[in-house]
Structure 1
Amino acid sequence: MPSWQYSSPLPATWQRCDSGILPLWWERLCAQTGQQSAALYAAGLFTEDRRRPIAQWYNPGFSAALLVAPETSPEWPVQRFGIFYAPPGAGFARVHSAPHEWHPREPRKSPTEHEAFLAAIAEAERFLQVEMDFV
């Protein structure tokens, strides 16, 4: 693997917290789109904390967060992990990235859900490294 692909340690200000989706996501999304639109966003991800796995980082000093979570409806034939960013202070955005997809009807075929999740986490951590250069 080329040296540029090795990830460096995350900046100390970012804390990993995967226990439950932070209320910050709901508040930011409602402020940006309104409560009704927020409830439908990403197949209800922010209204129903039911879908796993998730990976989440929080920066309390900047009031910023990053989330990796399933963004497609459970009934879709192709599932995808999205990367969501709440920048310092206010706002909400989906990070445009490579598709981190898997086919639930073919659970053993690569990429599996686990492989797609790990790839999304690696991309999210690279995003945090770059983002810290700008804050």
Structure 2
Amino acid sequence: MPDWQEPQPLPATWQRCDTGILPLWWDRLCSQTSPQSAAMYAAGLFTEDRRRPIAQWYNPASDSALLVAPETSPEWPVQRFGIFYAPPGGGFTQVHSAPHEWHPREPRKSPTEQEAFEAAVAEAQRFLQVEMYFV
């Protein structure tokens, strides 16, 4: 990877916490939709906390968060990682980025699930670097 694409160290205000889905995601999603719609969003990712891998960053100073997680339903033939952002002050949005996809029926064919995940994490880290300029 060229030097300019190497992720820079994240600002100290962003803490990585991958152990479980933060309650903030459910609260933010419910504030924009109904609890029923929120429960179905991203195949129940925010209600069941069962799909892995995930990468998650939290900024307690601004009560904002960033999440990399599967966004497609498990039965789809192409799986994809999405990047979700909860900005300071409220709200919830999906960051539109390059598709970070893999084919579960061909687990050894590139891109693999791990390669797709690593690419999505790298893009999320670049997003956090840019986000710091606007907050």
- Range of TM-score over shorter length: over 0.9
Amino acid at match of 1:94: Q
The structure 1 segments of at least 4 consecutive aligned residues displaced by more than 3 Å after TM superposition are none
Q: Distance in 1 between matches of 2:34 and 2:96?
A: 22
Amino acid at match of 1:83: I
Q: Report the TM-score, using the length of structure 2 for normalisation.
A: 0.98
**Offset at residue 34 of structure 1 (A):** 1.4
Match of 1:102 in 2: 102
Amino acid at match of 1:13: T
**Offset at residue 89 of structure 1 (A):** 1.6
Q: Distance in 2 between matches of 1:17 and 1:48?
A: 17
Structure 1 unaligned segments of length 5 or more: list them: none
Match of 1:61 in 2: 61
Amino acid at match of 1:130: V
Equivalent pairs, count: 135
SS at match of 1:21: coil
1:1-135 to structure 2, matched below 5 A, reads 1-135=1-135
Amino acid at match of 1:17: C
**Offset at residue 36 of structure 1 (A):** 1.1
Q: Distance in 2 between matches of 1:88 and 1:14?
A: 12
1:60-116 Cα deviation digits (max 9, x unpaired): 000000000001111110000000000002000000000000000000000000000
Q: Report the TM-score, using the length of structure 1 for normalisation.
A: 0.98
SS at match of 1:133: helix
**Offset at residue 4 of structure 1 (A):** 1.6
